[in-house]
Chains A and B, each alone.
Chain A
Amino acid sequence: MGMAVGGTDEYNSEINVTPMVDVMLVLLIIFMIVTPLLQQGVTVDIPRNMISPDEDEEIAKDTSVVVSIPNNGQFFIGKDAYPLELLGEKIKARMEGKAAQKRIVYIKSGVNVEYGTVVEAIDTIRKQDIDKVGLVADKKKEIEE
């Protein structure tokens, strides 16, 4: 900023926003990178555009048990794969001490997975004395009028 040589008391009173914009852009980029990483578990092609599923914020909570089945015969809890035989134990351990109405296991299954695979998982789940499952599905976005 070249000051005038005349000795007058004139200052440039504009705030330099460039550093602030820099910082915010960096923050923005950080968020853009971090948000996909925050996604829990494995990527599953769950049923989309369903009309009537109920919203349930419990699904996203760390404490709830979500069994993901991306492909036939693959079972994941969170990001860890388990064979069917160990799935029951793991679910049991994670369900310990939960109130009766919270004893629900969420199933995130891909649309092309055979129903038999899902049934195997449900069979394992009910052996842990759980009689409620939540089938995770995407709700169709409502078009605003």
Chain B
Amino acid sequence: MGMSTGGSSEGATPNINVTPLIDVLLVLLIIFMIISPLKPSRFEAKVPAEPKDDENVEIKPNPLTLVISLDKATKGIKLNQDSIGDSSDTKPLTDRLAQIFKDRENAGVFRQGTNEIEKTVFIKAPKTIPYGDVVKVIDGAKMAGSQPIGLQIDDLSD
């Protein structure tokens, strides 16, 4: 910044150099932009109540119940008795479930005692399978609109 020595000119320009400020603020902004989308999310799952030994109530099998089971060796998915894709590709499962729910909507199949469409799905997986595969299946089922998703946790195979 060379000050003039002549004293004749009034050449001191009152400019603030905001460039460094803007640099810093932009960096801050970028950091917050990266941090903020990390909103946690989750799948909600229902767990059936503990079986009680003293209960002798006869449970009527519900013909509308959908059970998705996972095979340990092949990682194949079974919807009730039908094989349908495997855990690396849950699209067939999603499509199939979506179709079933759509049919039920058209036919007006309601959950017992309510006026909601029965969309309950149970997931049954062997104990030694990695958790990641189970979550993939849950993701697939959720995409089709299953709600609630139940996790079977009794009498699982190894």
A residues whose Cβ falls under 8 Å from a Cβ of B:
1-8, 10-15, 17-18, 20-21, 24-25, 28, 31-32, 35, 47, 50-57, 59-60, 69, 104, 106, 109-119, 122-123, 125-127, 130-139, 141
What's the nearest-Cβ distance from chain A to residue B127, in Å?
3
CB-based contact A31/B31 at 8 Å: yes
Judge whether B113 is part of the interface by a CB distance below 8 angstroms: no
CB-based contact A115/B130 at 8 Å: yes
Size of B's binding interface in residues, CB under 8 A: 56
What's the nearest-Cβ distance from chain B to residue A13, in Å?
4
Given contacts A111-B130, A111-B132, A126-B49, contact A56 B42 (CB under 8 A): yes
- Which of A21, A69, A126 lies in contact with B24, CB distance below 8 A? A21
Does more than half of chain A's interface fall in helix, strand or loop, or is it mixed? mixed
A71–B38 Cα distance when bound, in Å, is: 23
A127–B48 Cα distance when bound, in Å, is: 11
A141–B26 Cα distance when bound, in Å, is: 23
Please, which residue of chain A has its CB at the minimum distance from the CB of B21? A17
**Residues on the A chain within 8 Å of B33, using CB:** none
CB-based contact B135/A122 at 8 Å: no
What's the nearest-Cβ distance from chain B to residue A74, in Å?
13
Please, which residue of chain B has its CB at the minimum distance from the CB of A21? B20
Binds A, one of B75-83, B101-109, B137-145: B137-145
Q: Which of B50, B131, B133, B153 has the most chain A CB atoms inside 10 A of its CB?
A: B131
Judge whether B64 is part of the interface by a CB distance below 8 angstroms: no
